[in-house]
A and B are shown apart, each in its own frame.
Chain A
Amino acid sequence: MTERFLITGATLPTGEHADILLEGDAIAEIGRITDAAGATVIDADGLIALPGLVDLHTHLREPGFEQSETVLTGTQAAAAGGFTAVFAMANTFPVADTAGVVEQEATLGRTAGYASVQPIGAVTVGLKGEQLAELGAMARSRANVRVFSDDGFCVADPLLMRRALEYVKAFDGVIAQHAQEPRLTEGAQMNEGALSGELGLTGWPAVAEESIIARDVLLAEHVGSRLHVCHVSTAGSVEVIRWAKARGIDVTAEVTPHHLLLTEELVTSYDPRYKVNPPLRRAEDTEALRAGLADGTIDIVATDHAPHPVEAKESEWDAAANGMVGLESALPVVHAAVVETGLLDWADVARVLSSEPARIGRLPGRSEGVAVGAVAELTLYDPSAASVFDVDRLAGRSSNSPYLGRTLPGRVVATFHGGYATVLDGTVRPADEVARLAARRLEAARG
């Protein structure tokens, strides 16, 4: 038996109110629905129905770093945050630089059933920046890889970057660059500026990001390739990308929720929860990133969800790991940073957190949004209730969230992936139930 849901009185991204019927793995009907016998009814009065969110930048840590996160726990965190698809970064152990590793990740994701897990392949063998990984083999594998990234490291060698950009054209791939000039950021601990000088922490200058982006957009123009820029963090980067787009260069860019909301002032506490790469920047940068997202210079929001075990953050600043978990808090943070400030409406949110990341990553079945006949990927979000974001809201294995104790708006109430619910009443459903539903869906798909 399949699950059937009647969602009543939801607010669509367009602002209209409608009932939504989910049947099988699809959205069967939208409108005023009176005949839905046997369906589980969900009262969505006051809730916003968004297309299932898609994260182009997630660290699931499996294989290799299962003490931080696994494909199962990471996709549970995703579901809790309203995501129904995640792109899994390649910095696992072993590195996702062969068809075998990416296929394993994809299989683990399908079995867990909380979200589509689309592996990202490494650009270079072992993320070492020396030799191209088997990009074609990963593209042709069952994992169907289209996004390639050495994230965590920059593809710093300009010739290697040029070749990678050129090579992936053969299968409509994209290079997602972690823009960080390595020599300019040796030992870097925080944004370089007045505050780093005062706190005595080695600076990570904005120019180390901006110079790589400038180089890469020119390379992409020269070879006619598609470039994606990960976690843009500075006002200058926004300017460079705006210039490149005006010039017709095929570049897309992402910003993280934390770079939209948090600033370097937090580092004054030396609390390692605020240590992240690229680092938190100045308020001026946050403003420029918000404006860039609003005017389309920055295409999408991606979480850079980076789980770490407790001991990696319970230390002095220098010794602490970079990174924050972000899946569970992404939508409330975007809500606070750009919706409450009037820069984006909910249709924009649906674009920057669902359809656009899916398009950039060439993830099929995500272009229609909340529409009849579309795959039932849906998130119900309650925008009304502001609350203190506490550790109960985290569903992954790690708790290195910078938002704990901070008041954020909104809450994900329900998430539907392929027609079945992964979150109901704000609670992630148990793993065995979801795995069973996923297995049934796979069987149905095979016929």
Chain B
Amino acid sequence: MKHLLGTRGLPRDAAIALLDIAEDMAAVQEREVKKLPTLRGKTVVNLFFEDSTRTRISFEAAAKRLSADVITFSAKGSSVSKGESLKDTAQTLQAMGADGVVIRHQASGAPQTLATSGWIDAGVVNAGDGTHEHPTQALLDAFTIRRRLHGADSRGRDLDGIRVVIVGDVLHSRVARSNVWLLSTLGAEVELVAPPTLVPVELSAWPARATYDLDAALANAPDVVMMLRIQAERMHAAFFPNTREYSRTWGLDDARFHRLPPSTMVMHPGPMNRGLEIAARAADSAQSTVREQVANGVSVRMAALYLLLSGDRGGLS
């Protein structure tokens, strides 16, 4: 795999292979010495044009546990905030000998531009671009679902027949997009539930169906309910009347949570708006996978960096 830019088009066997490597990485995390020498001497740059403490430290931990040297480059307070272009930043990293670049950018497609422009030779991992993709989030979600279902017997498994309901701001969510592509590739059935203003106008090509009624979707006892974060800026752009109405109609409140079977997983990519899209009781329940998602994130990102930066990079992509 030369780059990991998205889950759209990621072959099923490649996705399962990555998840299996993440299982190996997770096993290492349970040892006393959590560090592997695999990427010793390699340099990984975390290039963050958008604030994201969670994703950044997750990638940082992943790279360090593989013994890579990690450089973190935040746009805030750097030359980028003084108007340096993506091209100049990329060429600076190239000159410093970066082997891998983990990029978070507010513009959809920026990781692809970085990977295909010829500005840099490094392998590129998309850590979230605009409203486009967030592939490692989807991979860690798939990993989490698989582990909850199959435990130690997860290796080699797909998600055939698993029913997933994704709820919230699909229109602006890169997490939703990456999950729709990946989970359906792995065999899951995906249903999107959102106010009509917060789904793309045309979804016929998506391997998912969109509905507006959360209660109806939950009444089918899905295996997974994934709640998406409502961004503050949406609240002032007429996507819905106000947060009270949103929460009442599309939030996972106590009543809805209690109607779910105990086997249904409750997921959230974080950070959560407790009381808005998800009630505290649901978030903190045994059905919630929120903390596992964070832990699994490190394993999945280790697997991605391993595939990109160790040895044969032509193998997967």
Residues of A within 8 A of B (CB): 189, 192-194, 196-203, 205, 269-270, 311, 314-319
B204 CB-CB contact with A under 8 Å: yes
Shortest A285–chain B CB gap in Å is 14
B67 CB-CB contact with A under 8 Å: no
Contact A319 B107 (CB under 8 A): yes
Judged by DSSP, the binding face of B is loop
Partner of A205, one of B85, B201, B204: B201
Contact B200 A199 (CB under 8 A): no
Known: A198-B8, A316-B110, A318-B109. 14 other contacts (CB 8 A): A189-B108, A192-B201, A194-B204, A197-B201, A200-B130, A200-B132, A201-B131, A205-B201, A270-B108, A315-B87, A316-B107, A316-B109, A317-B108, A318-B130
Shortest B53–chain A CB gap in Å is 22
What is the CA–CA distance of A193 and B117 in the complex, to the nearest angstrom? 26
B96 CB-CB contact with A under 8 Å: no
Q: A201-B109, A270-B112, A318-B108 are contacts. A196–B200 as well, Cβ < 8 Å?
A: yes
B205 CB-CB contact with A under 8 Å: yes
Q: Residue on A with the closest CB to B132?
A: A200
Partner of A199, one of B132, B201, B206: B132
Q: Residue on A with the closest CB to B117?
A: A314
Count, chain B residues at interface, CB 8 A: 29
Q: Please name all residues of chain B whose beta carbon is closer than 8 Å to the beta carbon of A270 when the two chains form the complex.
A: 108-109, 112-113
Q: Residue on B with the closest CB to A189?
A: B108
Contact A198 B107 (CB under 8 A): no
B86 CB-CB contact with A under 8 Å: yes
Q: Please name all residues of chain B whose beta carbon is closer than 8 Å to the beta carbon of A201 when the two chains form the complex.
A: 108-109, 130-132
Name 24 A/B residue pairs within 8 A (Cβ), A-sorted.
A192-B201, A192-B202, A193-B201, A194-B203, A194-B204, A196-B200, A197-B201, A197-B203, A197-B206, A198-B8, A198-B205, A199-B109, A200-B133, A200-B174, A200-B177, A201-B132, A270-B108, A314-B87, A315-B85, A315-B87, A315-B113, A316-B107, A317-B109, A318-B108
Contact A318 B205 (CB under 8 A): no
8 closest cross-chain pairs (CB), A and B: A197-B200, A200-B132, A270-B109, A200-B131, A318-B107, A200-B108, A316-B110, A316-B107
What is the CA–CA distance of A196 and B105 in the complex, to the nearest angstrom? 18
What is the CA–CA distance of A86 and B87 in the complex, to the nearest angstrom? 35
Q: Please name all residues of chain A whose beta carbon is closer than 8 Å to the beta carbon of B132 when the two chains form the complex.
A: 199-201
Contact A316 B200 (CB under 8 A): no
Contact A198 B177 (CB under 8 A): yes
B253 CB-CB contact with A under 8 Å: no
Q: Please name all residues of chain B whose beta carbon is closer than 8 Å to the beta carbon of A269 when the two chains form the complex.
A: 112, 116
Complex interface residues of chain B between 95 and 148 (CB less than 8 A to chain A): 105-110, 112-113, 116-117, 129-133
What is the CA–CA distance of A269 and B5 in the complex, to the nearest angstrom? 12
What is the CA–CA distance of A193 and B224 in the complex, to the nearest angstrom? 29
What is the CA–CA distance of A174 and B109 in the complex, to the nearest angstrom? 40
Q: Please name all residues of chain B whose beta carbon is closer than 8 Å to the beta carbon of A189 when the two chains form the complex.
A: 108
What is the CA–CA distance of A198 and B298 in the complex, to the nearest angstrom? 27
